[in-house]
Amino acid sequence: MQISYQLYCSRNFPPLTRTLRMLGEVGFSEVEGYAALLSDVDGLKAALDASQLEMTSCHMDLDMIESDPVAALQIAKKLAVKKVFAPFLDPEDRPNDTAGWQAFGRRLAEAGKPLVDAGLIFGWHNHAFEFDVTGSGDIPLDLIAAASDDLMLELDLGWVRVAGHDPVAWINKYAGRIAAVHVKDIAADGECADEDGWADVGHGIMDWSAIHAALQGAGVDHYVIEHDNPNDDNRFATRSLASIKAFEGQHS
């Protein structure tokens, strides 16, 4: 199993070299990048090399992928990234009907074609807004996925639950199309208010035993832990990695 850490979790705990050193000490060997880190690719590579951590996946802005696919490929090659995910749409850019989401799915598939042709995995990373049903009764994430079989998903399990859906059902629905998952936990009502209601993995309300079993059944072995606003990233990384290793032991 690949267990990775989304570096966005530690954006409020600079510098990056401290974060990478901490992750190595905790026991991580892989990380996932995000767009803001790509302004200094040479520096990022040097920091990764010094920490002996691999960036196996990365979030890249869709606009950059579309406007300069050669640069996107060069970044991926330099960092040895194998999976690239477009991660977000600003509210003003989100379609508001079925036709719009279908068009967006086609846009994604077309943008990712140079990456896929080069042997990379390309996909979409969801939040909760992709589950807001259109006036025609369609779920946008379904419309995105329908655009191309080459378009993979990085399913954010926490946002699936926040949107009111069962993560297990969506894992089963898209078995074979999920290239990675964001393993994210939600605090019980009234808890972790200073962390926007998110919890360390295994310390919230998510049913990880059922989720992990479904992921294993669907052949998903790339787990990326994430917390959008931890007040202690070392605590989050340490406890979350321990939880995932415990899940793995329960189903081995």
* Tens-digit pLDDT profile for residues 5-26: 999 999 999 999 999 999 999 9
Model confidence band, residue 79 (pLDDT cutoffs 50, 70, 90): very high
The reported pLDDT for the residue numbered 249 is: 72
| For range 127-145, the mean pLDDT | 98
On average, the pLDDT of the chain sits at 97
Model confidence band, residue 248 (pLDDT cutoffs 50, 70, 90): confident
| For range 156-178, the mean pLDDT | 98
H or E stretch at 157: helix 157-162
| For range 78-90, the mean pLDDT | 97
Cα dist from 91 to 103, 140, 154, 237, whole Å: 16, 14, 20, 30
Residues 117-129, buried b or exposed e (16+ Cβ, 10 A)?
eeebbbbbbbbee
Cα dist from 27 to 15, 31, 52, 193, 238, whole Å: 19, 11, 11, 28, 8
Model confidence band, residue 250 (pLDDT cutoffs 50, 70, 90): low
Identity of the residue numbered 96:
N
CATH topology of domain 2-250: TIM Barrel (3.20.20)
| For range 167-190, the mean pLDDT | 97
The reported pLDDT for the residue numbered 133 is: 98
Model confidence band, residue 252 (pLDDT cutoffs 50, 70, 90): very low
User: What are the extents of the domains in the chain?
Assistant: 2-250
Residues 166 and 120: their CA atoms lie apart, in Å, by 29
pLDDT above 80 (res 246):
yes
Q: Does residue 137 sit in helix, strand or coil?
A: coil
H or E stretch at 47: helix 41-51
Cα dist from 83 to 63, 188, 190, 196, 226, whole Å: 17, 32, 36, 28, 17
The reported pLDDT for the residue numbered 247 is: 85
Q: Does residue 151 sit in helix, strand or coil?
A: strand
Q: Which of 239, 181, 170, 203 is nearest to 3 (CA)?
A: 181
pTM: 0.96
The reported pLDDT for the residue numbered 126 is: 98
Identity of the residue numbered 214:
A
| Tokens found for residue 248 | 């793995």
Instruction: Give the pLDDT confidence of 34-58 residue by residue, as tens digits.
Output: 999 999 999 999 999 999 999 999 9
Cα dist from 130 to 27, 73, 86, 95, whole Å: 33, 27, 13, 10
Establish whether the linkage from the previous residue to 15 is cis, with ω within 30° of 0. Answer: yes
The reported pLDDT for the residue numbered 22 is: 98
H or E stretch at 76: helix 69-79
| For range 216-225, the mean pLDDT | 97
Model confidence band, residue 224 (pLDDT cutoffs 50, 70, 90): very high
